[in-house]
Amino acid sequence: MNCAAVPEQLIEAELFGVTKGAYTGATEDRPGRFERADGGTIFLDEIGTLSLPAQGKLLRVLQEREVERLGDSKTRKIDVRVVAATNEDLRKRVEAREFRQDLFYRLNVFPIIIPPLRERRADISLLMEHFLELFTTRHGKPHSGFTQRAIGALFSYSWPGNVRELENMIERGVILAPHGEAIDISHLFTAGEPLDAELLSMAADGSLERSRRGKGISGFYERPDLSGLLDNLIDTGVSLNTVEDLLLEKAISKADGNVSEGARILGLTRPQYAYRLKRRSGGSEDGG
């Protein structure tokens, strides 16, 4: 049951059932979701949207393992496994007194935390392939894949909307890209998504260059003036060790502490990157 989709005045009847005549329109006895799930599982989606009164009634059912239909005085024993889901931080909701602490601990028996897409970028390539196949079939519009810079942009984007945002963006690319051609950035990032991450692209001479995309989506990558940048660094007297330290620190910051991701950003293997971190800090490192 999607808790967010049920009106507040109907939540008790939906969960626990109703007896004939309990309210206007209740023309017959009707079991609730818990009774219908007896011996099985009930999945309560968006449980964070339940009001405090509804949370209290749910807590009683979980504690007593029995339900009482609306308008009835008889209780019915139930044997139900409860699975609840939410995209909110219930601990913070408890601290804000918006979610009952006793219900939180009653539900928090076996928590399963699904990390956001930005923390599991290894999944992006598999999802890209899956959604491309799905939407080229659905729209009857085959494409030759993605351009290299589109792939780089998809891997660099922060994905605040997680997998659903990626799915929508791939479908958008399938619709906008010309039939049979590769999907490019201009077909994907068309809804104002900020894409400021540095990416690697192919220069005219075939060499790799680091490029930066601005906040807009129009235009192409511009090759940075690396020679001028190096001149500025030398003129300021910055040492090589300092530059390396800054690169290592910036990469691990961009990777949210993930060593493997930090290594990928700098074009190193994980052992190479971990060795440099360890040598720099003089201690041990850990991370994903």
pLDDT value of residue 198: 52
Q: How many residues does the chain have?
A: 288
Which two tokens mark 120?
A: 């599991």
Select 3-107's CATH number: 3.30.200.20, 2.60.40.10, 3.40.50.300, 1.20.140.10: 3.40.50.300
Q: What are phi and psi of 209, to 5 degrees?
A: -135, 145
| Domain 118-212 of CATH type 1.10.8.60 | yes
41 exposed, middle or buried (CB, 10 Å; 0-12, 13-18, 19+)?
exposed
Measured CA to CA, the distance from residue 215 to residue 277 in angstroms comes to 32
What residues does each domain of the chain span?
Answer: 3-107, 118-212, 226-281
- Please list the residues that pair with 200 across neighbouring strands: 210
User: Tens place of pLDDT for every residue, the chain, 288 residues?
Assistant: 999 998 888 888 889 888 876 676 677 888 889 999 999 999 999 999 999 999 999 999 999 999 988 877 788 999 999 999 998 899 999 999 999 999 999 999 999 988 899 889 889 999 999 999 999 999 999 998 999 889 989 998 999 999 999 999 999 999 999 999 999 999 999 888 887 545 544 444 544 455 544 443 333 344 445 666 677 777 777 788 888 888 888 888 888 888 888 888 888 888 888 888 888 766 544 444
Q: Is the model's pTM score more than 0.85?
A: no
- How far, in Å, are 121, 152, 282, 286 from residue 277 at the CA level? 22, 25, 8, 10
Measured CA to CA, the distance from residue 161 to residue 254 in angstroms comes to 19
Which residues fall within 8 angstroms of residue 242, CB to CB, at 6 or more apart? Answer: none
pLDDT value of residue 282: 62
3-class DSSP state of 81: strand
